[in-house]
Amino acid sequence: MSFDTTEHNRHRHCFDGVSSVWLFGYGSLIYKVDFPFLEQCPAMIEGWARRFWQGSHDHRGTPDSPGRVVTLIEQPGACCKGMAYRVAPDVFEHLDVREKNGYLRFTTTMTFNDGRQAEGLVYIADAHNAAFLGPADEADIARQIAVSQGPSGRNDEYLLKLAEALRQLGDDDPHVFAIEGYLR
């Protein structure tokens, strides 16, 4: 698969007759909300763990010197907290471009804080995409993040904003907070 998943995503879901769609955000979509939404609720998805295993060649790094951003890795028993947004389908025209570096839209069940559930979409960059960097020691991940930057800014800003947003959600994500600790 090429780095650019925009076209791929355009054909993955049919929004005909659909007025709104729930989107689950677990990374920059929690704190960088550059899209309109109809409703917003803290939520979680089960069976997935957030990991800084995806390369960023377009936002927080460059093709020659990629940064690291989060994706989701399947892990039975894990629970990933994030933010759910109910959006109009045309919002995905913008989001597909923003998330184009290897992320594909998948359907998921999300659970809101009050226990209600909804089906929706989530962007995941799986291990088969060309920008996937995979696991590394958390101290090494922090070192890579410390020196990377790209058109959207410094990679450490991505990490620190995510860690702060997770604290505000009452999340305790050992992976993100360990990398933040090494960075600081």
Q: Does 29 bind ligand SIN (CB under 6 A)?
A: yes
Residues 122-151 that bind ligand SIN (CB under 6 A): 123
Q: Pick from 9, 21, 22, 28 the residue near ligand SIN by CB under 6 A.
A: 28
Q: Which of 5, 9, 21, 27 binds ligand SIN (CB under 6 A)?
A: 27
User: Measured between alpha carbons, how far is residue 48 from residues 24, 51, 63 in Å?
Assistant: 12, 10, 28
Contact 156, 146 (CB under 8 A): yes
Angle CA(109)–CA(115)–CA(117) in degrees, nearest 5?
Answer: 25
Rounded to a whole number of angstroms, the minimum distance from the CB of residue 94 to ligand SIN is 12
Report DSSP state, residue 129.
Answer: S
Q: Give the Cα separation of 60 and 55 in Å (integer).
A: 9
**Of 142 and 166, which has the nearer Cβ to ligand SIN?**
166
> Judged by CB under 6 A, which stretch of 21-29, 86-94, 109-117, 127-135 contacts ligand SIN?
21-29
Q: What is the rounded distance in angstroms from the CA atom of residue 54 to the CA atom of residue 148?
A: 13
Contacts to ligand SIN from residues 54-83, by CB under 6 A? 69-70
Rounded Cα distance, 85 and 123, in Å: 13
Task: Write down the least CB distance from residue 71 to ligand SIN, Å.
Answer: 7
For residue 11, the Cα-to-chain-centroid distance in whole angstroms is: 20
Q: Let me know if 46 is a catalytic residue.
A: no
Kindly state whether residue 102 participates in binding ligand SIN, applying the rule CB under 6 A: no
Catalytic residues, which ones?
99
- Where do contacts with ligand SIN occur on this chain (CB under 6 A)? 25-29, 69-70, 99, 123
